[in-house]
Chains A and B, each alone.
Chain A
Amino acid sequence: MTDKTDIAANADQKSKDAYFTASQGQLIWTRFKKQKSAMVGAWVLVILILSGFFAPFLTPYDPTIDGRDKEYENGAPQIPSFCDDNGCSFRPFIYTYERERSLKTNFRWTTVIDTDKRRYLVFFTQGDEYTILGVKFSTHLFGVDSGKIHLFGTDSTGKDILSRTFHAINTSMAVGTIGVFIAFVLALIIGGLSGYYGGWLDSVIQMVTDAVRTVPAIPLFMALAAFIPSEWSAEARFFFISIILGFIGWPTLARRVRTHLLTERNQEYVLAAQLCGASGGHIIRRHLLPSFTSYIIVDLVISFPYMVLSETALSFIGLGLKDPVNSLGVMLQNVTKADVLLNYQWYFIPVIFFIVLVMAFVFVGDGLRDAADPYADTKK
């Protein structure tokens, strides 16, 4: 009996000890894990980001015009099945389709599905070549033994929507990352100078920051984007849009950095360090930076969805990225036609992904903020 109580007491002691020796980061992570919505959001986010990164592997075809399926334009999604009238099989299959036109169809191309000819799904097939991080691969997760498979359907030129969607996630994330990074670096420098030195420097910088913030974003975007020469390559355009987003986004972040610094600077433990003769550099490194790292991470995660939204909005109205660079905004450009709304509803599938991505960011950001906020010490 004593053994059991000892073990229980030891386990208790261990967990108490773990709590006492846990650093701020570990405490925040523990609190974060307790929030279900945040954890769900985090998993979704990880899955989406990874699928964006590994998009070329996961999807069967090249999302650009090179990978299009001429025989299946505006085609509906093809769901693989295991059984049909002709019997069941272990391997999932889809039906063959062919284009034909004739007098009957008024000489328009129509797609005919032949339910007798099956195309079986194959996994880890060879397909279009792609590069990830400079290394060339050509294996794709799945494909069909003949012809092509389109799980999400195709668009008006025959490009596979599944492939496009996953590549688009990657592009939107990349644009968002660059934008956030630029905004963050600017915010750190400007907000940092403002918060650390205070005084007249702070006042001047604040006035400039406020001025920049009052500029309305969308007209500014439009003006800047309209200036991009159309000769620029897709990649150049891509970087330029990201940079614009960064330059628009810094004021909010800068203000947050400044506020954090102003609060932390007046903490008593900073004064204690100063009274030891610590240099400004030491105080910034050892006290100020660690103190607002957790807050800044929260700010970064929360500003991410705004970047993605901004890029999507820009691309949607045609001022951002253009074909062949894929982003969720570019894909959404096509959904505005009435034709699409009535007949080709699968064009909206990327919208679902977009919403899920942004919501995941929001949940994770909220969860992080709740976890980081109170290192609630029990005060007297």
Chain B
Amino acid sequence: MNKPLISVKDLTVRFHTDEGLITAVDNVSFDIAPGEVLGLVGESGSGKSVTAKSLMQLNAGNTQYDEKSSIILNVDDQEIDVLSLKNDSELRIVRGGAISMIFQEPMASFAPAITIGDQMVEQLLIHSSMTKKEASEFSIEMLERVGIPDASQRFKQYAFEFSGGMRQRAMIAMALSTKPQLLIADEPTTALDVTIQAQVIDLMKDLVSEFGMGILFITHDLGVIAQTADRVAVMYLGNLIETGTVRQVIREPHHPYTLGLLNALPKLDDLEAPLTPVPGDIPSPLERPSGCVFHTRCPQNLGARCETEIPKLLKGAKNRMTACHLVEENGASKS
């Protein structure tokens, strides 16, 4: 019986703000198996970044995690309850050790006044028992591994001397040097040009097969997910509304939002097809709709039930999960 690498159950995250208590993530549960790439897809306000940061308790100080939420990390035959870790030294096992994270804006993640090499070595010295010399050599190897030419030269350079794509590669190198079990990638290719994005995606696919780590890949770009992920989870306004394998969800979406999202994308194989947006606007997190959060924009709104009752994430055929009353009723009527 394989234990999942990380198991998130009923994660609910709220923020104390001037405008009140905002729910950013509402009852989200998912598992990631070791070596699996899970894509977390959503638009603005979906809560995907907050979910990712919760795995390492990286959210801001005014965060409130619900008591029922739990995030269990299974590494080296240990079970670590991430949300119960209190101070920085306890969290250090998780942050950068078992779990590593790469971000959207690599310029913002590297300290501008320290060389890339020094930052990579610092991380290794914290998380491993290498000597400084060993750490330097290993870091240069990692830089080469991610395809940065003249790695030993680049090792001594500063972040601003790298181009966007190279910074992203350097960040991947830094994140992987501690051999994490889980890599969280928060929109890693969104800020990159499309030809560079393709290179970075290829790199990540190679590294996954080589290092065998699990990846939580967060993005709003369904095309990127289709090319990199094994499974995908779709989020909308803090709720997880559909999960399944990438083939299942993209070829045959069940939830009306997923379907709407796919229809809104311009597809290169049919240039004449009109672009159909999802009607309406994404509500602000301050005004989350009652019942199913998507009901205000759903073309299949069933009326009272969708407006008042929050749909549960129910298992369908072939391990797919969908949170939709319509899907539930159809499934019930089928069987």
Chain A bound to chain B: yes
* Contact of B18 with A31 in the complex, beta carbons under 8 Å: yes
Interface size on A, residues (CB 8 A): 4
Task: Write out the residue numbers on chain A whose beta carbons fall within 8 Å of the beta carbon of B44.
Answer: 380
A378 within 8 Å of B (CB atoms): yes
Complex Cα distance, B44 from A378, in Å, reads 10
Interface secondary structure of B, over-half rule: loop
A34 within 8 Å of B (CB atoms): yes
Nearest Cβ in chain A — how far from B135, in angstroms?
37
Complex Cα distance, B11 from A308, in Å, reads 54
Contact code string A2-36 (vs B, CB < 8 Å = 1, else 0):
00000000000000000000000000000100100
Which residue of chain B is the closest to A30 with respect to CB atoms? B18
Complex Cα distance, B18 from A31, in Å, reads 8
Complex Cα distance, B105 from A380, in Å, reads 13
Complex Cα distance, B284 from A380, in Å, reads 12
Contact code string B281-295 (vs A, CB < 8 Å = 1, else 0):
000100000000000
Complex Cα distance, B282 from A380, in Å, reads 12
Contact code string B83-96 (vs A, CB < 8 Å = 1, else 0):
00000000000000
Q: Which of B9-28 contact A (CB under 8 A)?
A: 18
Complex Cα distance, B284 from A119, in Å, reads 69
Complex Cα distance, B284 from A378, in Å, reads 9
Task: Write out the residue numbers on chain B whose beta carbons fall within 8 Å of the beta carbon of A31.
Answer: 18
Complex Cα distance, B44 from A215, in Å, reads 52
Contact code string B38-55 (vs A, CB < 8 Å = 1, else 0):
000000100000000000
Q: Which of B264-290 contact A (CB under 8 A)?
A: 284
* Contact of B18 with A34 in the complex, beta carbons under 8 Å: yes
Task: Write out the residue numbers on chain A whose beta carbons fall within 8 Å of the beta carbon of B18.
Answer: 31, 34
Task: Write out the residue numbers on chain B whose beta carbons fall within 8 Å of the beta carbon of A380.
Answer: 44
Complex Cα distance, B44 from A380, in Å, reads 6
Complex Cα distance, B44 from A143, in Å, reads 68
Complex Cα distance, B18 from A378, in Å, reads 13
Which residue of chain B is the closest to A16 with respect to CB atoms? B287
Nearest Cβ in chain B — how far from A367, in angstroms?
14
Nearest Cβ in chain B — how far from A357, in angstroms?
29
Complex Cα distance, B44 from A228, in Å, reads 65
Q: Which of A27-65 contact B (CB under 8 A)?
A: 31, 34
Nearest Cβ in chain A — how far from B121, in angstroms?
34
Task: Write out the residue numbers on chain B whose beta carbons fall within 8 Å of the beta carbon of A378.
Answer: 284
Which residue of chain A is the closest to B43 with respect to CB atoms? A380
Nearest Cβ in chain A — how far from B288, in angstroms?
14
Nearest Cβ in chain A — how far from B290, in angstroms?
12
Task: Write out the residue numbers on chain A whose beta carbons fall within 8 Å of the beta carbon of B284.
Answer: 378
Nearest Cβ in chain B — how far from A28, in angstroms?
12
Nearest Cβ in chain A — how far from B205, in angstroms?
27
Nearest Cβ in chain B — how far from A252, in angstroms?
26
Nearest Cβ in chain A — how far from B191, in angstroms?
12
Q: Which of A344-380 contact B (CB under 8 A)?
A: 378, 380
Which residue of chain A is the closest to B284 with respect to CB atoms? A378
Q: Which of A121-149 contact B (CB under 8 A)?
A: none
Complex Cα distance, B18 from A380, in Å, reads 19
Nearest Cβ in chain A — how far from B254, in angstroms?
27
Which residue of chain B is the closest to A34 with respect to CB atoms? B18
Task: Write out the residue numbers on chain B whose beta carbons fall within 8 Å of the beta carbon of A34.
Answer: 18
Q: Which of B223-241 contact A (CB under 8 A)?
A: none
Complex Cα distance, B22 from A378, in Å, reads 13
Which residue of chain B is the closest to A19 with respect to CB atoms? B19
Complex Cα distance, B18 from A205, in Å, reads 41
Nearest Cβ in chain B — how far from A37, in angstroms?
16
Which residue of chain A is the closest to B220 with respect to CB atoms? A380
Which residue of chain B is the closest to A376 with respect to CB atoms? B18
Nearest Cβ in chain B — how far from A4, in angstroms?
17
Complex Cα distance, B20 from A34, in Å, reads 12
Complex Cα distance, B285 from A378, in Å, reads 10
Complex Cα distance, B15 from A378, in Å, reads 14
Nearest Cβ in chain A — how far from B225, in angstroms?
18
Nearest Cβ in chain B — how far from A351, in angstroms?
37
Complex Cα distance, B19 from A34, in Å, reads 11
Which residue of chain B is the closest to A12 with respect to CB atoms? B287
Which residue of chain A is the closest to B287 with respect to CB atoms? A16
Nearest Cβ in chain A — how far from B250, in angstroms?
23
Q: Which of B282-323 contact A (CB under 8 A)?
A: 284
Q: Which of A200-247 contact B (CB under 8 A)?
A: none
Nearest Cβ in chain A — how far from B174, in angstroms?
26
Nearest Cβ in chain A — how far from B156, in angstroms?
34
Complex Cα distance, B18 from A103, in Å, reads 73
Complex Cα distance, B284 from A115, in Å, reads 73
Complex Cα distance, B286 from A378, in Å, reads 11
Complex Cα distance, B220 from A380, in Å, reads 11
Q: Which of A306-326 contact B (CB under 8 A)?
A: none
Q: Which of B44-68 contact A (CB under 8 A)?
A: 44
Contact code string B104-121 (vs A, CB < 8 Å = 1, else 0):
000000000000000000
Q: Which of A31, A34, A378 has the most CB of B within 10 A?
A: A378
Nearest Cβ in chain A — how far from B296, in angstroms?
16
Nearest Cβ in chain B — how far from A223, in angstroms?
41
Complex Cα distance, B44 from A31, in Å, reads 25
Nearest Cβ in chain A — how far from B260, in angstroms?
19
Nearest Cβ in chain B — how far from A375, in angstroms?
12
Q: Which of A31, A34, A380 has the most CB of B within 10 A?
A: A380
Complex Cα distance, B44 from A34, in Å, reads 28
Complex Cα distance, B284 from A31, in Å, reads 20
Nearest Cβ in chain B — how far from A13, in angstroms?
11
Nearest Cβ in chain B — how far from A18, in angstroms?
13
Which residue of chain A is the closest to B17 with respect to CB atoms? A376
Which residue of chain B is the closest to A378 with respect to CB atoms? B284
Complex Cα distance, B17 from A31, in Å, reads 12
4 chain-A/chain-B pairs, Cβ below 8 angstroms: A31-B18, A34-B18, A378-B284, A380-B44
**Using a CB–CB distance below 8 Å, which chain A residues touch chain B?**
31, 34, 378, 380
**Using a CB–CB distance below 8 Å, which chain B residues touch chain A?**
18, 44, 284
Query: What 4 A-B pairs have minimum CB-CB distances, sorted nearest first?
Result: A380-B44, A34-B18, A31-B18, A378-B284
